[in-house]
Structure 1
Amino acid sequence: MNEHQERVDRVIKQFGGYWSPFEMLAALMEEVGELADELLKIEGIKGEGDRKRLREELGDTLFALACIANYYGIDLLEALGESVEKYLARDSSRWKDVDDVKRG
């Protein structure tokens, strides 16, 4: 993920630089909305979905997150690792076979 985060940084700088934090947040929210729309379609709630489109929306959402992370100097891979550990510690009693997850 780190190399992709660095690639996003190069692309954004090539295009003139990062937007303001709230503009990037708005872009992220737009992408999350498009992701939600595609999930609704795939689940048969709102038309018919397409896994290729879902993949695209997930990528767009990650791109928007990488922009925010880069702006603030946050390593997304480290942040994700910390979140996984937080959920394992906090929610382990809710999950079946959590010991297998911790070992994996």
Structure 2
Amino acid sequence: MNDLQREVDRIVMEFGGYWKPFEMLAALVEETGELADELLKVEGVKGPGDRNRLKEELGDVAFALACIANYYGVDLMDALRETIEKYRERDRERWISV
């Protein structure tokens, strides 16, 4: 677990522990919806947007994701590194200019 995940863990434990997995998933989906709403605003599709609010929503999604990762003992930084490598290999040809 990386430092940020440990910090999330400390806060969650101060508040009484982790929710059930599907409750955490629901929280992640809710936060993702709020992120989508703010992104639409920032892009001018839906009213005025605020980049600080966008940053806040990204943080909320990251927090919810960290809760799920912590519950299952997954280091998010390791998972992200592996995903970056997966995209690097799998999509190498996709990004080459013609």
* TM-score using structure 1 length: 0.90
Residue identity in the other structure for 2:20 = S
Equivalent residue, structure 2, for 1:23:
23
Equivalent residue, structure 2, for 1:94:
94
Could you tell me the percent identity over the aligned residues? 69
Equivalent residue, structure 2, for 1:75:
75
* Structure 1, unpaired ranges of 5+: 98-104
Between the two structures, name the one with larger relative contact order (CA 8 Å, sep ≥ 6).
Answer: 2
Distance 2:46 2:95 in 1: 30
CA deviation string 1:37-93 (max 9, x = no partner) = 000000000001000000000000000000000000000000000000000111010
2:49 equivalent to 1:53: no
Distance 1:21 1:35 in 2: 21
Distance 1:3 1:11 in 2: 13
RMSD between aligned residues: 1.3
Residue 96 of structure 1 deviates from its aligned partner by 3.3
Superposed, 1:6-45 pairs within 5 Å as 6-45=6-45
Displaced runs of 4+ in structure 1, greater than 3 A?
none
Distance 2:74 2:4 in 1: 13
